[in-house]
A and B are shown apart, each in its own frame.
Chain A
């Protein structure tokens, strides 16, 4: 049973445009959500997170939106840059980002120059 789902295995966008990565979850106990960026043969790098008490969190070019009623979150990258090309993982936890994380399968983002 996959509790965190990223249904798009890949996404391709043009440089300068918006990238939108989606994530759905099934466990209503999750109260903290994170996005990680990962390059091949490297560990994930934390990007941005959001607590369930919020519906939006913004950090520079990255914004995460949370829709609790739909159990859906999304990561927006504006403007997209070629260096953003990587695999993006959505993760969720119960009790904050310090607790064990449940990851989605990831979405490979390619930003074309």
Chain B
């Protein structure tokens, strides 16, 4: 099966610090990964599409300088929340596209990272 991991699962940080979240595809290569954010009792909102070897594509309203994405290898994408503020507290989830399936390739999600900014 396609397994996606995230690290850390939980992080608490002080306001003004930066936090890095890793997303790894464990048993497949993913040229494309996606980063989502979920607010309490809300839907998952796509933040950006991470492309291996190129710049990420950000959704409207998402600050690219605030949420830095690096997809340096076919199995790893990182999201860095820079100068975190309490309003950045959220559940961040990544997904990776498994491209072995043909024309319709499923996305597999990581377990998520709970970020709390004090």
Q: Which residues does A use to contact B, with CB under 8 Å?
A: 4, 32, 34, 36, 41-46, 49, 51, 89, 96-98, 100-106
Could you tell me the distance between the alpha carbons of A103 and B99 in the complex, rounded to whole angstroms? 21
Inter-chain contact A97/B109, CB cutoff 8 Å: no
Which partner residue on chain A sits nearest B99 by CB separation? A98
Q: Which secondary structure dominates chain B's binding surface?
A: strand
In the complex, what's the smallest C-beta–C-beta distance from B55 to chain A, in angstroms? 16
Q: Does the CB pair B104–A89 fall under 8 Å?
A: no
B interface, CB within 8 angstroms of A: 4, 6, 32, 34, 36, 41-46, 49, 91, 93-95, 97, 99, 103-112, 114
Min C-beta distance of A1 to chain B, whole Å = 12
> What is the CA–CA distance of A43 and B108 in the complex, to the nearest angstrom?
9
The interface centre, meaning the residue of A43, A102, A106 with most chain B CB atoms within 10 A of its CB, is A43
**Pair B46/A89 contact, Cβ less than 8 Å:** no
CA distance A35 to B37 in the complex (A): 18
Can you pick out 24 interface pairs between chain A and chain B where the beta carbons lie within 8 Å of each other?
A41-B114, A42-B111, A43-B4, A43-B95, A43-B110, A43-B111, A44-B44, A46-B107, A46-B108, A49-B104, A51-B104, A89-B43, A96-B105, A97-B104, A97-B105, A97-B106, A97-B107, A98-B32, A98-B97, A98-B104, A98-B106, A101-B95, A102-B46, A105-B42
Query: What chain A residues lie within 8 Å of B94 (beta carbons)?
Result: 43
Bound form: Cα–Cα A44–B99 in Å: 19
Contacts of A96 in B (CB 8 A): 103-105
A100 engages B110 (CB within 8 Å): no
**Contacts of B93 on A, CB cut-off 8 Å?**
43-44
The answer, among B43, B49, B97, B105, for a CB contact under 8 Å with A103, is B43
List the A side residues contacting B108 at CB < 8 Å: 46
